[in-house]
Amino acid sequence: MQNRRTFIKKAGLGMAAMLFSHTMLRCSKQSRPNIIWIIADDLSPDLGCYGHPLVQTPHIDRIARAGVRFTHAYATGVGCSPSRSALNTGMYQTTLGAHHHRTLDKKPLPDHVQLVSQYFSQAGYFTCNGYGTPDSRPGKRDLNFIPKEPIFDGSDWSQRQEGQPFFAQVQIYDPHRPFERDPENPIDHSNVDLPPYYPDHPVAKRDWANYLEAIQVLDRKVGEVLTRLDNENLTDNTVVFFFADQGRPHLRGKCLLYEGGIQVPLIIRWPGHLQTNTVNNDLVSLIDLGPTCLKLAGIDIPNHMHGIDFLSSSIAKREFIVAARDLSTRNLDRIRCIRTKRFKYIRNFMPEKAYLPYNHYHAYRYPVRTLLKVLEKKDALPPEQARLLQPTKPKEELYDLKTDPFELHNLARKDEYQDKLYEMQSILDAWIVRTDDQAEKGGFGATSMEELIAVRDKKYKPLWEKRGFNPDEMDYKAYLNWWKKKLGIDVEKMSDGI
């Protein structure tokens, strides 16, 4: 006991108490906890509990007040299927060959690899994947490989045997595009502060406000799950993990490895075991969630998993996280990044490719892409905004996130940062070898790529026709006017000439 008291004194009461309770449970004979993953689609830490001034998220904030809020949590990928492939296996998608988003040539998992849910099932847990209601259909299962069946035992924990512990994934589509507006708490877009890489324009501000309103819709759906746990007397013995599969659905968000694309909220509540209203600044990767939850349930972590038990007091904290981007929508690229507490290093393996090459999905769903094209023709974009439309990328990017949180100033060629650049290069090189990054062994097959593009183009062609536009011969000014009307922007009151 003296050693434990010394540890608590040195480490700080809040975090030490959390780790102490976590360790004690593993040694006790009390019943195993239920575990729920509440997974949002495409969400950065744009929540009330993370300090956003416009967003009302009382239910998610409630989880944070009763638990631990992590400030440096990151996805491993920037497409839902690569990210979820890593999340559900505890292995990097690049190791599994699952790094290309929704490929047509999915492969089975290696024989020794199972999903996190399957390890839970083998340990006597009931596993389910749904939308948090007893009558829910099976939830989103966007994986980039052919898994061994069955993946889950059902779609809701109400289907389990009496007294059986459960591992549940609750999927919530919001705030994925198209955004679901919030009529109860509308957000005035004139109050929205945009990052400097976005034009300060009503179209951009309204689109961002719609994203924030969709977060409020998400919050109410989270509240329904929490209320159900309360009503079923499950709250005290259930560990709730709230997080997102990747960052926000905006340009320079998902699909790229900047903070907007990979940083996600992560909040954990476990009544009686985790210190309440606690903030944790450790680096955490979503690849760590599976191993951590297995240990919470008393299940050994398989040796092949790359993730760690980040709640353990005996495991060294992460010094960096790694994220990857490969095929996304119809655009093939290969980008890797290393993110430490202070610095971000990005390696563009295909610098000849643009940041935002054309694809039907972006053009159809993202109004700011059209806005940028119109402003570009008017030569009205400052460098930090014009950068997204550049036809090529630098081979390497290095950012000091302490002084440059929006990642605008590339330090890779600065003499005074060459030692830091070399350090980050070495970390990435070692990771590629250690984790057997499959992209090192060859590109995406040309035939498969052509087939994939054809499938996705076919999907969007009739959608474009309904809007009255031909994406191959786009009139961007006319299309921007369409977006203004779609978003409810009063064109008559605009005097900006665009």
Please state the rounded mean pLDDT for residues 142-148. Answer: 87
pLDDT at 155 over 70: yes
Average of pLDDT values for 95-99? 90
Report the range of poorest mean pLDDT among 49-63, 398-412, 479-493: 479-493
pLDDT of residue 445: 58
pLDDT, tens only, 333-364? 999 999 999 999 999 999 999 998 888 888 89
pLDDT class for 497, splitting at 50, 70, 90?
low
The domain segmentation of the chain, as residue ranges, is 31-493
pLDDT of residue 358: 84
Check residue 3 and give its pLDDT.
Answer: 40
Higher pLDDT, 53 or 447: 53
Write down the pLDDT at residue 395: 98
Rounded mean pLDDT of the chain? 90
SS3 sequence of the chain: CHHHHHHHHHHCHHHHHHHHHHHHHHHCCCCCCEEEEEEECCCCCCCHHHCCCCCCCHHHHHHHHCCEEEEEEECCECCHHHHHHHHHHCCCHHHHCCCCCCCCCCCECCCCCCCHHHHHHHCCCEEEEECCCCCCCCCCCCCCCECCCCCCCECCHHHCCCCCCEEEEEEECCCCCCCCCCCCCCCCHHHCCCCCCCCCCHHHHHHHHHHHHHHHHHHHHHHHHHHHHHHCCCHHHEEEEEEECCCCCCCCCCCCCCHHHHEEEEEEECCCCCCCCEEEEEEEEHHHHHHHHHHHCCCCCCCCCCCCCCCCCCCCCCCCEEEEECCECCECCCEEEEECCCEEEEEECCCCCCCCCCCHHHHHHCHHHHHHHHHHHCCCCCHHHHHHHCCCCCCEEEEECCCCCCCCCCCCCCHHHHHHHHHHHHHHHHHHHHCCCHHHHCCCCHHHHHHHHHHHHHHHHHHHHHHCCCHHHCCHHHHHHHHHHHHCCCHHHCCCCC
More confident residue, 24 or 368: 368
Note the pLDDT of residue 13.
34
pTM listed for this prediction: 0.92
Which band of pLDDT confidence, cut at 50, 70 and 90, is reported for residue 5? very low
pLDDT in tens, 191-200: 999 999 999 9
7 pLDDT tier (thresholds 50, 70, 90): very low
Confidence of residue 100 (pLDDT cuts 50, 70, 90): confident
The pLDDT value given to residue 107: 85
31-493: CATH homologous superfamily? Answer: Alkaline Phosphatase, subunit A (3.40.720.10)
Q: Using the predicted structure, report yes or no on whether residue 416 has a pLDDT greater than 80.
A: yes
